[in-house]
Chain A
Amino acid sequence: MTANGIGRVAFHVGSALGFDGSGPVLASLLLLGGLTSVVLVVLSAVAFCRRRSRSYLLVTLALGALSIKAFLGGVWMFRLMPVGQHHFFEHGLDLLTAALLGAAVYYARAGSNDGKPSAEEFRSR
């Protein structure tokens, strides 16, 4: 890639990050991010259907929250929502995603009974 090419990429990345408008780079980022996360939601939903465990459901919901973020980005791009509200929902979804993943980790131990070690009942043996 020529120096000119690198400069152009840097400019596009910069303008996408710089929040200066609805450039084509931002639009394609949103589209790509949205499609990728929807694919992940479908994959995790398939995994949930196979395993039927709470952890898998929570991971699916977390990925769902991630894909909604891309959708919200689109809503903001077309000026369907004020930027303040957009930020509120976007970062609310960040919190939701993190909380859902945390819960998925907690329930990763099958039949977690308040974390009580199931071994205790065998102590007397």
Chain B
Amino acid sequence: MSDQRARIAKYVSATPGVHFSALVRELDLAPGQVQYHLRTLRRKQGVAEEHLYGKTHYYPLAYDDRERRVLALLRRETARDVLASLLKHGSARPAAVAEDLDIARSTLEWQLDRLVEQNVVEKRYDSQGRVRLELANRSETARLMGDVVPSLPARMADRFVRLTDRLLDDVAGTEPTDE
């Protein structure tokens, strides 16, 4: 295996779910070079590829299909915070989670759309027909959360969304509502 290919394989193994662009940036390689090596690695069963929400992620082979999708979501800081809040409180009402994290309801709902779609979070209805959020698989979420750390650009992008969602919510004067 070439030196560069080994470097790429090692980086993917240390940062499961890494983006193509992050590989190019962090390893200081040309995009074409990374593309070539990744193609070879995939053919030789060295890395797995997953397309999710318009991004391509790379993983070591240790993760199955579902784990790969969960890991991709766990690379987002706000999604992690939502999941951490649910780990701490068990089942919770959406308004309580938004308040716990001091995020706008719109920020929470955007994250929930994906977390529910990928079956990480479940929406249940209580006896009064109100929504409650619950983790679909507590132990899996806790385990996978430790395997990835969001990158600095990803953190700043998430915080930008948090701040602007909150400011826009304040300007619009919308109060959090419970459906």
Taking each of A50, A110, A122, which has the highest tally of chain B beta carbons within 10 Å of its own beta carbon? A122
Collect the chain B residues with CB atoms within 8 Å of residue A109's CB: 77, 81, 155, 158-159, 162
Give how many B residues have a beta carbon under 8 Å from the other chain's beta carbons. 28
B130 within 8 A of A: no
Q: Which A residues lie within 8 Å of B158 (CB)?
A: 109
B138 touches A47 (CB 8 A): no
Q: Which residues from B are CB-within-8-Å of A89?
A: none
User: Which one of B152, B155, B159 has the greatest number of beta carbons of chain A within 10 Å?
Assistant: B159
Tell me the number of A-to-B contacts counted with CB atoms below 8 Å. Answer: 66
A97 within 8 A of B: no
Cβ–Cβ < 8 Å partners of B88 in chain A: 122
Query: What per-residue 1/0 map shows which CB atoms of B79-112 lie under 8 Å from chain A?
Result: 0110110011000000000000110000000000
Which has the most chain A C-beta neighbours within 10 Å: B87, B156, B162, B167?
B167
Once the chains bind, are B84 and A108 in contact (CB under 8 Å)? Answer: no
Bound Cα distance A118, B88 (Å): 10
- Known contacts A118-B81, A119-B83; is-contact A59 B102 (Cβ 8 Å): no
Q: Which residues of B contact A51 (CB under 8 A)?
A: 170
Interface residues of A in 89-123 (CB under 8 A from B): 104-110, 115, 117-120, 122-123
Using known A-B contacts A108-B166, A110-B101, A110-B102, determine if residue A119 contacts B80 with beta carbons closer than 8 Å: yes
Which A residues are in CB contact (< 8 Å) with B156? 105-106
Nearest CB of chain A from residue B52's CB, rounded to whole Å:
20
Query: A49 vs B84: C-alpha distance in the bound complex, in angstroms?
Result: 29
Contact between A118 and B159 (Cβ–Cβ < 8 Å)? no
Q: Is the CB of B84 within 8 A of A118?
A: yes
For A108, list chain B residues within 8 Å (CB).
Answer: 159-160, 162-163, 166
Query: Of residues B81, B87, B138, B163, which shows the largest number of chain A Cβ atoms within 10 Å of its Cβ?
Result: B163
For A106, give the chain B residue with the smallest CB separation. Answer: B159
Which of B1-9, B15-23, B54-62, B143-151 is near enough to bind chain A? B143-151
Contact-residue size bin, chain A (C-beta under 8 Å from the other chain) = 20 to 34
Complex Cα distance A26/B163, Å?
A: 34
Is A55 among interface residues, defined by CB-CB distance under 8 A? yes
**Contacting pair A119 B101 (CB below 8 A):** no
> A10–B135 Cα gap in the complex (Å)?
60
**Contact call B142/A123, Cβ cutoff below 8 A:** yes
- Collect the chain A residues with CB atoms within 8 Å of residue B84's CB: 117-119, 122
* Contacting residues, chain B, for A50 (C-beta < 8 A): 170
Give complex CA distance A55, B102 in Å: 12
In the complex the two chains form, what is the Cα distance from A107 to B156 in whole Å? 10
Listed residue (A51, A109, A115, A120) with the most chain B CB atoms within 10 angstroms of its CB: A109
Residue positions of A touching B, CB distance < 8 A: 43, 47, 50-51, 53, 55, 59, 104-110, 115, 117-120, 122-125
